[in-house]
Structure 1
């Protein structure tokens, strides 16, 4: 064995061992190997740093930004709610819906892209269902990889083997030629994950972390709001119709604090922040807080011609996109000390209502608006998230102490959701049509998201998972090093000598193993480029149809289930799923064997 090849293989084995030990961080290991190869004279510095200019790296970074845009506009949350609603409390049903959705959608767009988009969706759903995200991220990754087996344009290896056929004067594959095999593997993968999910993380890590943060429901309980808050509907005959809140002055005249107004708009209710100019309309639902316990709700309702509606504990959570809660401490130097909320016109100035007051750890009953505030008092405020966030800048007067878990679901750019959908649609059309490279299509979508204010520059940079980017960039030079040291060429020559005279099923099995093995350490695109000519050559020597052999290469190149560096799809889910290197082997190895068995049996039958 040449010395330079021995060095490359030694570095590769060292990386894999360190990946398995999970120390140091995987991106540090990969970057270390990237630096070592040019220092040792295996590759040039230009070749070592080539990954930074690779279009796939740019594509992955852009897709992180697109995923953030989907999250910030609330689309991911809505899809997650649909999945959670359809799945109910069934983890198995969620796996089925998730894998089928990702597998089918990924058949017409980048598998990396569809996984990046679904990661925030899955995190939302697992948080709501109180299950560990690791139990869903692996099904997501596997479905993303399988989606590359569904159509001709689903992944580059498919187009590479198609080109290899045409270069030899053989008719290429059709758009749906891959679908029978891909759909069969998707069904098998879904059934497999229904069993393999039991080998993944258990417990409720995310939920457990969230228990340290309060929820809307816990705020309501701690501040004793259950008996004070009500929903009151305004009929057409009510005396309130057509009058502004400034005219009504409900607090002074009726002892009622108006928290919000629920009003129908575009087919669904929205919770409006009440201001003095707001005019009451028929059908409005007033969310009120009786500021003194002695107030007679029935008398108030009868006087103004209102009807009482139920107020369930989940009400505020259902409206968390429009309304927020927070605990705010009054600081020693605050201008609020010694003054009441009414004196300081708190709601007028800050756009928030105070619905609770705690002093010395105890909730204060009565009309908190008239209470003279003291240093250290804690106010429970309710209103738009934007106004709550603005209190953070009032560092002389207030300290925002506690924000509820529901804030994690807030979409700050929810009104821009149609633009986000349009941006993603443009990307998909460009990718499917092939008018521009995938990386350029993703960058165009990023610019559209920025122009439509779905994301801003700061958010875009923060959304990129740089650890994943550097891990991929650091591993890319291994492909160049193995090619330059003739390692791949030597392995192929040996293979052809050993397999001389073997039957088709055996050749398919060995071709699958070899292709999958290469795809674990180099990109599936590079693997397909190297293996497609070998597959064609094997078919020529046997004087048989080349279709089973090149189809095997395409499927095996996408069957990169066994390591986090085998595919960008696997790398994307590693952090959110809290996986270690061994988790991929534990789940990926059995399924790879299942896929290989399906290829050995089905490919010679369907594609002969």
Structure 2
């Protein structure tokens, strides 16, 4: 063991301590590695910063931009809608559908690409259903990593495998595209069962800056009596042909009607005006205190629904909510009533309350003359608030969620995604270049602006991976990786097939946590094949064990997929340890069992 090997092992131990105890943020750990490794002479200065321009990091940047383009054009809304149609609001079904879909896609494209493309959809589904996004992203990320084992083009180690199976000048029979599929399917099934059974105990409930209600906690403290969203069904026996004003819902029940669905849910009316009439079979959405909504439903003969159904998507926190707007001194609202302004017809937002001085008005709003400084509490879809934000009449007290979707650009976004995939799969263009082509195409065709593209990139992920790549280089440069592998292999003697494959799997899993999976594969495939020959085991199976075990990387956020989901899921390193420890053991057991059964 040389001084260089001792030094790089000490640096590795230091990095692991930083990850576990979180003395600094994980991206800062990456930057520390970039600075520390060249100062210790373990890598050259060029190698220390080469991670930022590596194929993996550039691919992540490009695929995040492509994902942002798909989200900006509403494609991911459609994807979320399809998943919810099948999964409903069951957390386990939602998790299974998202994770299973991403796993299958990962079998045919790089796992980071599949995870990044589905990240916006998973976040939208979490917001819409109230399932914490932290309980969706980790299963999705783990299954994206495992999905690379479905085919021989799903992960870099498997792509390299056939080229590395040469021992003593003898090239062994190559594996076919789907040779590894039985193993991959069993691993995915095991992962899904693991999260279905134990997810509630091992997955965190928190998420970064997510709010599942229609109103922020700040507004809720001021307007505590406004209430929440409720849906009611008007029976077919309803006979009162009166306008909403005559029903006096607000003065009597302090409830505001914000939307109507009719014609079997095919026609949706937002912010109906006072002259609108309620028809038999309508579904109504109101904002009001729960006890008053119940009294109203009883008095009117309407059926209170347990949750939003007709407007589950359109009025979900993803797409709609409550905002407070302050009337400006130059506003056209001054000196007029809400009835004069026709605020419902013009902007499709529903007034819920007016706050003036220290008084809160929740009834008779349409007749109140607006004054500068009045605070209007409004319910509506985020796209309407974005339109209002562009006018000089109101200043909103909080950042408006959502964004104006460019749905007319959806076909262009899908076209550029398709071009990138064809370049990768059909013409074998390098991953980073193909994905950058797709990202650039989206910018040039105005699917995204260049500023939106920059803002979409999670730079914490970029610097985390950029710093870990040179750590893997240092492991290989100093000979530490080869020293550890040789020492373990020499200590084994002549093991049984199960023991040999288990040790190879454990060794590979360790190296993929601290170095690149490609580096671990290049190093360990020849070593494991030689050991297998000496032990009388099929060397092809030993090589395949290395390539599959290279995806067994769950207990630290060092894999690029784990790094990608860390911030959106609100994860800490301990969350990966808690969830990944069991997954690592299960992965190893299922992998060895499958290899023994099928090979």
Give the TM-score band, short-chain normalised.
Answer: 0.7 to 0.9
Q: Say how many residue pairs are matched.
A: 550
In the superposition, relative to structure 1, how do residues 27 and 207 fare at CA in structure 2: closer, same or farther (>3 Å)? closer
SS in 1 for 2:284: coil
Q: Which residue of 2 aligns with 1:606?
A: 598
Counterpart-to-counterpart distance in 1, 2:27 and 2:191: 29
Query: Are positions 1:501 and 2:494 aligned together?
Result: yes
Q: Which residue of 2 aligns with 1:436?
A: 429
**1:375 to partner: Cα distance:** 2.1
Q: Which residue of 1 aligns with 2:146?
A: 146
Query: Are positions 1:174 and 2:172 aligned together?
Result: no
Calculate the aligned-residue CA RMSD, in Å.
3.9
Structure 1 stretch displaced more, 187-196 or 374-383: 374-383
Mapped contact 1:223–1:358 kept (Cα < 8 A):
no
Q: Which residue of 1 aligns with 2:574?
A: 582
In the superposition, relative to structure 1, how do residues 594 and 324 fare at CA in structure 2: closer, same or farther (>3 Å)? closer
Unpaired runs of 5+ residues, structure 2, are: 235-244, 246-256, 287-307
The 5 A counterparts of 1:232-251 are none
Counterpart-to-counterpart distance in 1, 2:362 and 2:546: 71
In the superposition, relative to structure 1, how do residues 416 and 505 fare at CA in structure 2: closer, same or farther (>3 Å)? same
Within the candidate set 263, 274, 277, 1:290 is matched to 274
Query: Are positions 1:458 and 2:458 aligned together?
Result: no
In the superposition, relative to structure 1, how do residues 450 and 270 fare at CA in structure 2: closer, same or farther (>3 Å)? farther
**1:571 to partner: Cα distance:** 1.0
For residues 106-133 of structure 1, the C-alpha deviation after alignment (integer angstroms, 9 at most, x for no partner) is: 1111111111122222222222332332
Query: Are positions 1:96 and 2:88 aligned together?
Result: no
The 5 A counterparts of 1:413-424 are 413-424=406-417
Query: Are positions 1:596 and 2:588 aligned together?
Result: yes
SS in 2 for 1:362: strand
Q: Which residue of 1 aligns with 2:252?
A: none
Q: Which residue of 1 aligns with 2:296?
A: none
In the superposition, relative to structure 1, how do residues 261 and 454 fare at CA in structure 2: closer, same or farther (>3 Å)? farther
Counterpart-to-counterpart distance in 1, 2:265 and 2:412: 20
Counterpart-to-counterpart distance in 2, 1:70 and 1:391: 25
Q: Which residue of 2 aligns with 1:400?
A: 396
**1:510 to partner: Cα distance:** 0.9
Mapped contact 2:214–2:321 kept (Cα < 8 A):
no
SS in 2 for 1:46: helix
Mapped contact 1:134–1:577 kept (Cα < 8 A):
yes
For residues 179-228 of structure 1, the C-alpha deviation after alignment (integer angstroms, 9 at most, x for no partner) is: 0111111111111112231333455667984448259xx9999499999x
Counterpart-to-counterpart distance in 1, 2:80 and 2:101: 12
Mapped contact 2:214–2:322 kept (Cα < 8 A):
no
Q: Which residue of 2 aligns with 1:254?
A: none
Q: Which residue of 2 aligns with 1:46?
A: 46
Mapped contact 2:145–2:561 kept (Cα < 8 A):
yes
Q: Which residue of 1 aligns with 2:461?
A: 468
Counterpart-to-counterpart distance in 1, 2:590 and 2:132: 31
**1:310 to partner: Cα distance:** 3.8
Unpaired runs of 5+ residues, structure 1, are: 231-250, 252-257, 272-284, 292-296
Mapped contact 1:107–1:153 kept (Cα < 8 A):
yes
Counterpart-to-counterpart distance in 2, 1:473 and 1:172: 33
The 5 A counterparts of 1:529-544 are 529-542=522-535, 544=537
Q: Which residue of 2 aligns with 1:189?
A: 191
Mapped contact 2:525–2:546 kept (Cα < 8 A):
yes
Q: Which residue of 1 aligns with 2:354?
A: 358
The 5 A counterparts of 1:541-556 are 541-542=534-535, 544-556=537-549
For residues 400-446 of structure 1, the C-alpha deviation after alignment (integer angstroms, 9 at most, x for no partner) is: 23578xx44x5612332232223222222322235201111211211
**1:584 to partner: Cα distance:** 1.7
Structure 1 stretch displaced more, 23-32 or 72-81: 72-81
Mapped contact 2:37–2:43 kept (Cα < 8 A):
yes
Mapped contact 2:67–2:116 kept (Cα < 8 A):
yes
Mapped contact 1:122–1:133 kept (Cα < 8 A):
yes
Structure 1 stretch displaced more, 170-179 or 371-380: 371-380
Counterpart-to-counterpart distance in 2, 1:124 and 1:57: 25
SS in 2 for 1:290: coil
Q: Which residue of 1 aligns with 2:32?
A: 32
**1:379 to partner: Cα distance:** 3.5
**1:447 to partner: Cα distance:** 2.0
Mapped contact 2:214–2:228 kept (Cα < 8 A):
no
Instruction: Please say which structure displays the higher CA radius of gyration.
Output: 1
Counterpart-to-counterpart distance in 2, 1:347 and 1:200: 46
Q: Which residue of 1 aligns with 2:302?
A: none
Counterpart-to-counterpart distance in 1, 2:44 and 2:480: 17
Query: Are positions 1:328 and 2:330 aligned together?
Result: no
TM-score by length of 2: 0.81
SS in 2 for 1:289: coil
Mapped contact 1:132–1:204 kept (Cα < 8 A):
yes
For residues 440-499 of structure 1, the C-alpha deviation after alignment (integer angstroms, 9 at most, x for no partner) is: 121121123223433221111111110111011111111221222111222232233222
SS in 1 for 2:326: strand
SS in 2 for 1:177: coil
TM-score by length of 1: 0.79
In the superposition, relative to structure 1, how do residues 221 and 110 fare at CA in structure 2: closer, same or farther (>3 Å)? farther
Counterpart-to-counterpart distance in 1, 2:112 and 2:389: 37
Structure 1 stretch displaced more, 42-51 or 310-319: 310-319
The 5 A counterparts of 1:274-313 are 288-290=272-274, 309-313=282-286
Counterpart-to-counterpart distance in 1, 2:320 and 2:461: 35
Counterpart-to-counterpart distance in 2, 1:337 and 1:108: 60
Structure 1 stretch displaced more, 204-213 or 156-165: 204-213
**1:317 to partner: Cα distance:** 6.0
Counterpart-to-counterpart distance in 2, 1:173 and 1:3: 40
Mapped contact 2:208–2:568 kept (Cα < 8 A):
no
Q: Which residue of 1 aligns with 2:58?
A: 58
**1:324 to partner: Cα distance:** 7.7
**1:555 to partner: Cα distance:** 0.8
Mapped contact 1:132–1:206 kept (Cα < 8 A):
no
Structure 1 stretch displaced more, 205-214 or 436-445: 205-214
Mapped contact 1:132–1:201 kept (Cα < 8 A):
no
Q: Which residue of 2 aligns with 1:85?
A: 85
In the superposition, relative to structure 1, how do residues 512 and 208 fare at CA in structure 2: closer, same or farther (>3 Å)? closer
